[in-house]
């Protein structure tokens, strides 16, 4: 590996940071990677308090769910400077305490790592990856103390990729300025392919695990090549995305940046950091056009977060409390607005045209307008309850909830149009003002401050907009905000079958109901998720036949469904309703006037007539 960053001596570095007397050093070894066990040691020197409290994070910033990472910890022991055992006490699930500790304490434990996601840990014979929130204790009271980290790979061929500052390259020793920075710095250890590139004079890396692991049974070389990502394309498109985002915010607020990518058979995810993104994606997805663009959206999304949510943070996330939920009603802005930009940025970077951009917006609107929960859960509440709802979907979620990613994206799109119409600005100006006012100084914004920034850019009072569409559940005002740009939202497609109000999943050939829409004919008839659908009007039906079978009925027809409900055979009668919309589309208004044509051209850079 070519390490482009000059190592400096640990001692001079520590001295330069004028550290307190306490020193904290972690080491992570993995002598038997196939066991999935990381061996972690923490050495604390110069400690002089009556008790030593060690607390393990229960969640990781960027993923708003208490994940109880400490459940993977085993073999905790503590010794003094001579290696003599120290007694300790557990005070809660994630809290260890050592009373009257000596000035030097070493703590040893193992972390079982067999969960391959961006927010957990994974170790096997091919690599190690850890998300530090799931690996390291916080020494209570020493959160601002610098922490040295030494990684001990099991094999000389394994290298280390991390955004942490390198202090001793030969021993893989790094330094975090404080606990927050340690938590924010993922680590990849293995034979990952590493690509270096520069943007605006700053070094960037793309590190890819599993890039070369093709299918040995691939029948021909051409297919094998299709499974390999086109790395040149990825790097050049990533560079364009970085340039567009840097232009928006006026520069890059880091010294260097690392993209970590795990390629697997079928996975999707990302976790943002201040100077890194952890990404996981399907290797096969990269070889289709849609899949590739979805991946570049993911890159744009996680990269955008280095401003929005990593530095521009709501008050509730200003100071991380790793022991419990950190509540905020602004995740719609942190995630939804970032989702709005993850399709805008690739468009501005030239990865697709305005038509394709609008098609992606239409797709998001379709998802929102076909989710019944939008009528029940306000966007602000969806944000606040992320901890108990978004990551824990059940069969009722679509009826009762709306994703703050999805609705936040569509609301951001509409707010962008509103600002463009009311002033000469756009959502870009909101981002820039937030960056100057809250991001650069890293001060959390309140709900009122966020709204005030929108209002100052738009030049209008947004109290009613907030009350109805962010804190309320009114249907979004598409018509009024699209019309000045010569667009309207139309129903592009209705269901080919009359309305029943349920969906099924196939369990072999059996059709198992997995969703029943609130207020639908299916719900009124007493059908429930979990029921096995056996027959329509007495004729057996398999999972893949339901759509076809329903097409032979008309709205208003009565039908009888035979199901197993809790293993009991029952019949349910219902009347089919009118077909419902399944696809919405942004389309030009029939006869756009010159003002509309001009507004559209100024917005997207093409003629409305070319849509
Ligand atoms: Zn995100």
Mean per-residue pLDDT for 94-100?
98
121 CA → ligand 1 middle, Å: 19
pLDDT of residue 530: 97
187 CA → ligand 1 middle, Å: 20
pLDDT of residue 3: 39
119 CA → ligand 1 middle, Å: 13
DSSP string, 125-165: TTEEEE-GGGT--EETT-TTS-EEEEEE-SSTT-EEE-SSE
Residue 215 pLDDT grade (very low, low, confident, very high; cuts 50, 70, 90) = very low
Is beta strand 257-264 parallel, antiparallel or unpaired with respect to 202-209?
parallel
Helices 338-348 & 404-422 angle (0-180, nearest 10) = 60
Q: What is the pLDDT of residues 249-295, one digit of tens each?
A: 999 999 999 999 999 998 999 999 999 999 999 998 998 999 999 99
403 CA → ligand 1 middle, Å: 12
Is beta strand 276-282 parallel, antiparallel or unpaired with respect to 487-494?
unpaired
331 CA → ligand 1 middle, Å: 9
Residues 437-465 as b/e (b if ≥16 CB within 10 A, e otherwise) read: bbbeeeebbebeebbebbbebbebebeeb
Residue 7 pLDDT grade (very low, low, confident, very high; cuts 50, 70, 90) = very low
pLDDT of residue 6: 39
Mean per-residue pLDDT for 47-68?
98
301 CA → ligand 1 middle, Å: 6
Mean per-residue pLDDT for 554-560?
98
Specify the DSSP class assigned to residue 19: -
246 CA → ligand 1 middle, Å: 18
Could you tell me how far CA 456 lies from the centroid of its own chain? 29
pLDDT of residue 218: 43
Mean per-residue pLDDT for 148-175?
97
Mean per-residue pLDDT for 189-204?
97
Residue 214 pLDDT grade (very low, low, confident, very high; cuts 50, 70, 90) = very low
338 CA → ligand 1 middle, Å: 6
User: Does residue 502 sit in helix, strand or coil?
Assistant: strand
Mean per-residue pLDDT for 502-516?
95
Number of helices (H) and strands (E) in the chain: give both, helices first: 18, 28
Q: What is the pLDDT of residues 310-367, one digit of tens each?
A: 999 999 999 999 999 999 999 999 999 999 999 999 999 999 999 999 999 999 999 9
Residue 169 pLDDT grade (very low, low, confident, very high; cuts 50, 70, 90) = very high
Query: Residue 246 has which token pair?
Result: 């840097």
What whole-number distance in Å separates Cα of residue 259 and Cα of residue 537? Answer: 55
Q: Residues 109, 112, 113, CA angle at the centre, nearest 5°?
A: 130
Walk across the sheet containing 187-190 and list its strands: 122-124, 127-130, 187-190, 159-161
Would you tell me how many other CB atoms lie within 10 Å of the CB of residue 523?
A: 16
**Fold match, 1-191 / 502-579:** no
What whole-number distance in Å separates Cα of residue 132 and Cα of residue 390? Answer: 23
pLDDT of residue 95: 98
Q: Residues 461, 464, 470, CA angle at the centre, nearest 5°?
A: 110
183 CA → ligand 1 middle, Å: 17
Contact 595, 486 (CB under 8 A): no
What whole-number distance in Å separates Cα of residue 172 and Cα of residue 156? Answer: 11
pLDDT of residue 212: 65
Contact 122, 128 (CB under 8 A): yes
pLDDT of residue 225: 52
The whole-chain average pLDDT of the chain stands at 94
272 CA → ligand 1 middle, Å: 7
447 CA → ligand 1 middle, Å: 19
Q: Provide CATH code, domain 1-191.
A: 2.60.40.3650
525 CA → ligand 1 middle, Å: 39
Would you tell me how many other CB atoms lie within 10 Å of the CB of residue 473?
A: 16
Residue 509 pLDDT grade (very low, low, confident, very high; cuts 50, 70, 90) = confident
258 CA → ligand 1 middle, Å: 17
Mean per-residue pLDDT for 372-401?
97
Q: Provide CATH code, domain 502-579.
A: 2.30.42.10
More confident residue, 216 or 111: 111
Is beta strand 202-209 parallel, antiparallel or unpaired with respect to 147-152?
unpaired
386 CA → ligand 1 middle, Å: 13
Query: Residue 164 has which token pair?
Result: 């942490």
What whole-number distance in Å separates Cα of residue 13 and Cα of residue 518? Answer: 61
Query: Residue 172 has which token pair?
Result: 């893989």
pLDDT of residue 20: 53
More confident residue, 8 or 498: 498
Q: How far is CA 585 from CA 192, 237, 247, in A?
A: 42, 28, 31
What whole-number distance in Å separates Cα of residue 114 and Cα of residue 585? Answer: 43
120 CA → ligand 1 middle, Å: 16
Q: Provide CATH code, domain 199-214+225-306.
A: 1.10.390.10
Q: Is the pLDDT of residue 4 over 60?
A: no
Lowest mean pLDDT among 4-8, 276-280, 553-557: 4-8
Q: Is the pLDDT of residue 407 over 70?
A: yes
Specify the DSSP class assigned to residue 114: B
300 CA → ligand 1 middle, Å: 10
341 CA → ligand 1 middle, Å: 11
- Compute φ and ψ for 6, nearest 5 degrees: -65, 125
Q: Which homologous superfamily does the CATH classification assign to the domain defined by 315-487?
A: Neutral Protease Domain 2 (1.10.390.10)
Mean per-residue pLDDT for 593-603?
98
107: CB partners within 8 A, 6+ apart: 41, 42, 44, 54, 76, 77, 78, 96, 137
Q: Which of 377, 362, 371, 468 is nearest to 409 (CA)?
A: 362
336 CA → ligand 1 middle, Å: 8
pTM across the whole model: 0.94
pLDDT of residue 21: 78
314: CB partners within 8 A, 6+ apart: 328, 330, 331, 333, 334, 444, 445, 446, 447, 450
Residue 228 pLDDT grade (very low, low, confident, very high; cuts 50, 70, 90) = low
The domains of the chain are located at: 1-191, 199-214+225-306, 315-487, 502-579
Mean per-residue pLDDT for 112-124?
97
What whole-number distance in Å separates Cα of residue 339 and Cα of residue 413? Answer: 10
User: Does residue 449 sit in helix, strand or coil?
Assistant: helix
4 CA → ligand 1 middle, Å: 29
CB half-sphere exposure, 186, CA atoms < 13 A: 31
Contact 24, 148 (CB under 8 A): yes
Mean per-residue pLDDT for 590-611?
97
417 CA → ligand 1 middle, Å: 22
What whole-number distance in Å separates Cα of residue 256 and Cα of residue 180? Answer: 18
What whole-number distance in Å separates Cα of residue 88 and Cα of residue 100? Answer: 10
């Amino acid at each position: 590996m070519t390490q482009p960053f000059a190592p400096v001596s640990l001692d001079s570095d520590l001295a330069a940071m004028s550290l307190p007397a306490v020193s904290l050093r972690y080491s992570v070894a993995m002598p038997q990677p196939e066991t999935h066990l990381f061996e972690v040691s923490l050495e604390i020197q110069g400690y002089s308090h009556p008790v030593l409290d060690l607390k393990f994070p229960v969640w990781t910033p960027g993923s708003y769910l208490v994940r109880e990472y400490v459940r993977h910890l085993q073999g905790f022991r503590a010794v003094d400077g001579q290696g003599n055992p120290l007694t300790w006490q557990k005070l809660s699930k994630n809290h260890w305490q050592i009373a009257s500790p000596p000035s030097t304490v070493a703590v040893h434990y193992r972390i079982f790592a067999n969960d391959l996601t961006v927010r957990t840990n994974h170790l096997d014979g091919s690599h190690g990856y850890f998300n530090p929130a799931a690996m390291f204790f916080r020494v209570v009271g020493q959160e601002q103390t610098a922490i040295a980290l030494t990684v001990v790979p099991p094999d000389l061929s394994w290298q280390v990729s991390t955004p942490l500052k390198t202090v001793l390259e030969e021993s893989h020793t790094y330094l975090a300025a404080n606990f927050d920075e340690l938590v924010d710095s993922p680590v990849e250890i293995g034979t990952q392919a590493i690509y270096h590139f520069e943007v605006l004079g700053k070094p960037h890396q793309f590190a890819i695990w599993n890039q070369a692991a093709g299918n040995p049974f691939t029948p021909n070389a051409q297919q094998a090549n299709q499974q390999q990502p086109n790395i040149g394309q990825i790097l050049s498109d990533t560079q364009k995305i970085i340039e567009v985002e840097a232009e928006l915010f006026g520069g890059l607020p880091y010294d260097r940046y690392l993209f970590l990518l795990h390629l697997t058979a079928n996975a999707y995810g990302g976790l943002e950091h201040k100077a890194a993104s952890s990404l996981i994606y399907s290797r096969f997805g990269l070889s289709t056009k849609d899949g590739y663009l979805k991946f570049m959206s993911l890159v744009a999304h996680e990269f955008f977060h280095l401003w929005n949510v990593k530095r521009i943070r709501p008050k509730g996330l200003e100071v991380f409390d790793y022991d419990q939920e950190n509540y905020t009603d602004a995740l719609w802005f942190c995630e939804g607005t970032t989702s709005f930009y993850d399709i805008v940025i690739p468009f501005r970077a030239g990865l697709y045209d305005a038509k394709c951009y609008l098609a992606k917006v239409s797709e998001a609107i379709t998802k929102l307008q076909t989710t019944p929960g939008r009528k029940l859960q306000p966007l602000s509440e969806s944000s606040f309850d992320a901890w108990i709802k978004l990551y824990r979907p059940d069969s009722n979620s679509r009826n009762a909830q709306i994703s703050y990613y999805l609705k936040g994206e569509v609301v951001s799109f509409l707010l962008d149009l509103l600002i463009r119409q009311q002033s000469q600005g756009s959502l870009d100006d909101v981002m820039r003002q937030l960056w100057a006012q809250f991001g650069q100084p890293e001060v959390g914004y309140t709900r009122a401050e966020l709204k005030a920034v929108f209002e100052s850019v738009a030049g209008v009072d947004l109290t009613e907009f907030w009350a109805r569409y962010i804190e309320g559940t009114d249907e979004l005002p598409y018509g009024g905000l699209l019309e000045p740009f010569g667009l309207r939202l139309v129903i592009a497609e209705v269901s080919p079958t009359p309305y029943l109000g349920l969906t099924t999943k196939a369990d072999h050939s059996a059709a198992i109901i997995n969703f029943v829409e609130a207020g639908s004919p299916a719900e009124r008839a007493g059908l429930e998720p979990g029921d096995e659908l056996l027959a329509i009007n007495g004729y057996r039906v398999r999972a893949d036949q339901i759509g076809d079978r329903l097409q032979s009925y008309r709205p208003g027809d009565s039908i009888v469904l035979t199901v197993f409900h809790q293993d009991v055979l029952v019949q349910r009668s219902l009347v089919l309703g009118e077909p419902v919309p399944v696809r919405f589309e942004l389309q030009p208004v029939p006869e756009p006037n010159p003002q509309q044509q001009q507004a559209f051209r100024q917005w997207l850079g093409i003629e409305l007539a070319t849509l």
